[in-house]
Chains A and B, each alone.
Chain A
Amino acid sequence: MRYEAIVVGAGHAGVEAALALARLGHNTLIVTLDVKSVSHMACNPNVGGTGKGHLVREVDALGGQMGLNADASLLQIKMLNKNKGAAVQSLRGQTDKDVYHQKMLQTLLNQSNLTLLEGECEDVLVEDGKVKGVVVSGESYLSDVVVLCTGVYLSSRTITGEEIHDAGPYGFENSKNLSAALVKKGLPLRRFKTGTPARVYADSIDYSVMEREDGDYDINCFSFLTEGKLLEQTPCYLTYTNLETHRIIKENIHRAPLYNGTIHGVGPRYCPSIEDKIMRFADKERHQVFIEPEVKDGELMYVQGMSSSLPKDVQEKMYRTIKGLENVRFARYAYAIEYDCIDPLALTPALAVKAVDGLFSAGQFNGSSGYEEAAAQGLMAGINAARKLENKPPVVLRRDEAYIGVLIDDLVTKGTNEPYRMMTARAEYRLSLRQDNADQRLTPLGREIGLVDDYRWERFSERNKKKESIRAAFKRSVPLASVREIFEKKGEAVSGGMTVEEMLKRASITAADVLPLLPEEERDPDLAEEVAVEVKYCGYLNKEKRHAADALKMEEKVLPADMDYLSMENLRLEARQKLNAVRPLTLGQASRISGVSPADIAVLITYLVKTNK
């Protein structure tokens, strides 16, 4: 059987990679261990969150699927940091896991150029350093490019106290042979760990003693294509652990695999198990526990904040100390999961595996964590695999262009010692990389790549045109009487007429205040808000732009692929080794490698000049 491209794994990375390849016209095969696990949300029932919401918007702006799929399965939507500035606001949506899976499966099945195959990928075929295809359940499938999106399935095992299963997440089968095959091909694999809390029966919870958490009804959804607001929403609930919960955990800590040596994998610090939180932050008297629906009106609830690998009897005892969970019944117990993944330093910024030509990878296999991080990489790996087939240069997003750029650059340049999570703190150009302007930043590029169809392009152009005219309207001056009227409501004095922009620069004036000043046909409150953000941030945005312009000069200096770093005696030993491992594409990327100092960069420059490269 012959395809142009094969994607291994149909989780959040795999589906984006496969859809991108197929949509760009390449005959693509996507392999999954189990059709029921397509886009399965193995952990929390939500999409988005701080930083992650940005990734979803960016995937959408480039023509990816995650935003649309999340919108189609939303149970609740919330704008995090709503009371803070626009740049740090992120969308988080509760989703119906079944609907999320079903919709994505349908999208795959309806996609032309795409074949879905159920089976276990056991090997990657490589000849003379070039990928030739894969072996699925004993049969060879040939292709020119392969994208590995194996998630947490590689030689995984789940751990609940003394109970250890050779299995994937949520009881799915794991991948047994691929790990060893990849090691043989020279891929540097290592072991990471993550975990998930229990799923409990909805009817065994007393919600009346918990705090109800509602969504926002006045905000937009993830996709730039989704119209209207989410009017019908399902609540979540908030409760807390207490000293009794903590006592039970401490008494049983010797039975915790994390603490008795059973687990060797490196777990994420930002997703700590409850036993970790109790042991590391002994002073805290309580921890938040969110009760979230797995599906709409379904029988199961997700207990956010109570991830654990303690034995089942301890889990029951500790969960039942929590207010509202006194009589809780367990459907699935919390578990930790260990799995194999690649050291991302072995990848190029195009997410290509350096050791094997034509092999790409994305998602948790690359050492990240989270559905959104996976989808973002899946999309880029799919795009770059397609461009490889087309003999086009790869698309590498810069750190000042997208969170996706920050994510991939961090992974392949700095590497990671734990599953990597996106955070707004990692984005140095945070004010420019807002979720509201993701389309402005990326949709033109998506169009160029070929993933933005006419419908999306027209919608984008229309939105852009409207924004332009609002920008123009903001520059017009407002008669003194109107200015005075608005400022009087705020109890502030004004001395003369001014433009809308000048008014907006005052902290007290919001987009809503100046909306009536716009011509009737331009009074779009969402777009006005977005343009107002540009005005309010103006001074700081300019600072960011200056930094970005400085950095760009370094990004534009390409390092030759054949640099022999190990023999460059003027470099410090550590720098030689790090540069050789990462093999940066540009001087800019080289300067971000940990262990490479400004002096080392100066030496590199000297070398480049001397050899006229």
Chain B
Amino acid sequence: MDTITAISTPLGAGAIGIVRLSGEQALSIALRFFGSSKIKSKEDVVPNHLGLGTFSDGSVREKCMMVYFRAPKSYTGEDMVEFHIHGGTYLAGRVLESLLGAGAVLAAPGEFTRRAFLAGKLSLDEAEGVRAMISAESEAELREAYSLMSGRFDQKIDRLLTLLTEVLSTMEASLDYPEEMADEVDDSLQKALLVQKEMTELLSSYRAGKLIKGGVTVAIVGKTNVGKSSLLNRLLGYSRAIVSDVHGTTRDVVGESIVYKGIKINLQDTAGLRQTGDEVENIGIERSLDAAKGADVVLYVAEAGQTPDEDELANIRAFSKKVLLVNNKIDVFGVTQEGINISAKTGEGVDVLLDEVLRVTALDHRAQETLTEERHADCIRRALRSLEEGISAFKAVNAECVLVDLRESIDALSEIGGGSATDRIVDDVFSRFCVGK
């Protein structure tokens, strides 16, 4: 069985995110990213022991805890690893992506439970959890906002399935009807290559798609007392953050979500940036920068009529591609040439700002097929992997071997919408070819 992984804590809530792995490769995949002074190799890992270390993969470097449960003494009865990561969806998502990239596959809804059940281990509580997960998945309102996109996505998957079915049915028909198929043209490889190209493109839309599904994360940063919290409050329509005239009132990141034009926007107010001796406040400032790093869009708020701190702005632009310069307090200081002019106090310009946020992020993807569900992305990832194996074997081995890979591919793709790949192939054989005597 594949080694599976998933974020086990509810998205967006809680101080700690847990990402789990289960399967034969769980520990070896985990140790490709996790290390500590005590843990250099598999032998150093003590089962059932929560240990502190660093998860590092490219740009991600995060202190976190890891615990290893050795088979069969685990929830699923298989080797399992859990990462306990500091709160927020963002980091858990990055960890998940790393694990998927290293060969783990995304757990299907209820799959940890299914494995636990098949291994003869399961408590009722956990089984109930499965049901909740399933009901959440089918929640209509969740889909509604994205209906336009998902409609296009379904069409795209249909197209890929149709193409791939044609590849398989041509090859299968030649095996089942060797005499009648002798004079049919076989363009399977060309079609397979086309599917590969389209799948690759679809996968690359995933990042953009995820923005839309999970919402757009917007960090509000800037010097102290430029009105960041006032902006947040204006956006929220009520007084969420403490607003005062004292510099450095916000000492932590304050997060809240709004829905604007059907898209969820996760707002993060941060501590103002300034040199200070206050240790607590310094930690807050550090977190502001972290929040900015993790955000999809950064609003750099400055006072209207003042030249923004170019160094600071450049510093933020270095780690975020989408930085909007926001000139606040135009009711007092008047408008500025560069940037978006608003007044948090009167609300002037705030709509323009939000439109701009949507424009620079995901909405340009609305017209295209966009991948939003991690489960779908995982199906396509697996379908692509098998398809590529099949394509590379095309010339080297017999058709029935290539078909083992292509079957894996179409089975993975079929998981998105359900339905039997075999039935589809058999139907296609008889609708496209005149076979049978």
Contact = CB atoms under 8 A, between A and B. Distances in A.
Nearest to A289: B437
Given A84-B175, A424-B176, A271 B437 contact: yes
A602 B118 contact: no
B128 A606 contact: yes
Interface residues of B, number: 50
Nearest to B115: A553
Contacts of B113: 602, 605-606
Nearest to A572: B138
A284 to B, nearest CB: 6
Contact of A606 (B131, B177, B400, B437): B131
Interface in A367-415: 414
Interface of B: 1, 108-110, 113-114, 117-118, 122-124, 127-128, 130-131, 134, 137-138, 172-173, 175-180, 396-401, 403-404, 407-408, 415, 418-420, 422-423, 425-426, 429-430, 434-437
A131 to B, nearest CB: 33
Interface in A562-613: 570, 592, 594, 597-599, 601-603, 605-606, 608-610
Given A544-B404, A557-B118, 8 more contacts: A424-B172, A424-B176, A425-B172, A430-B400, A431-B400, A553-B118, A594-B419, A603-B134
A270 interface: yes
A440 interface: no
A212 interface: no
A557 to B, nearest CB: 7
A359 B437 CA distance: 34
28 contacts: A44-B437, A50-B177, A51-B176, A81-B178, A84-B398, A84-B399, A88-B398, A88-B400, A271-B436, A277-B434, A280-B434, A288-B437, A414-B423, A423-B172, A423-B176, A425-B172, A431-B401, A537-B401, A543-B408, A557-B118, A599-B134, A599-B138, A601-B114, A602-B109, A602-B110, A606-B127, A606-B131, A610-B124
Interface of A: 44, 50-51, 80-81, 84-85, 87-88, 268-272, 277, 280-281, 284, 287-288, 290, 304-305, 307, 414, 423-426, 428, 430-431, 507, 537, 540, 543-544, 546, 549-550, 553-554, 557, 570, 592, 594, 597-599, 601-603, 605-606, 608-610
A594 B423 contact: yes
Contact of B109 (A44, A269, A287, A598): A598
Nearest to A554: B118
Contacts of A290: 437
Nearest to B419: A594
Nearest to B114: A605
Given A88-B175, A599-B134, A507 B396 contact: yes
B400 A426 contact: no
Nearest to A283: B434
A295 B108 CA distance: 57
Contacts of B110: 598-599, 602, 605
Contacts of A287: 434
A533 B403 CA distance: 17
B178 A425 contact: no
A341 to B, nearest CB: 20
Given A270-B430, A424-B176, A425-B422, A605 B117 contact: yes
4 closest A-B pairs (Cβ-Cβ)?
Answer: A602-B110, A85-B398, A270-B436, A425-B172
Nearest to A587: B118
A513 to B, nearest CB: 18
Contacts of B429: 425
B400 A85 contact: yes
Contacts of B418: 597-598
Contact of B178 (A50, A540, A603): A50
B426 A423 contact: yes
B417 to A, nearest CB: 10
A259 B435 CA distance: 20
Contacts of A88: 175, 398-400
Nearest to A284: B434
A81 B180 CA distance: 12
Nearest to B117: A605
Contacts of B434: 272, 277, 280-281, 284, 287
A44 B435 CA distance: 16
Contacts of B400: 84-85, 87-88, 424, 430-431
A36 B359 CA distance: 81
B268 to A, nearest CB: 34
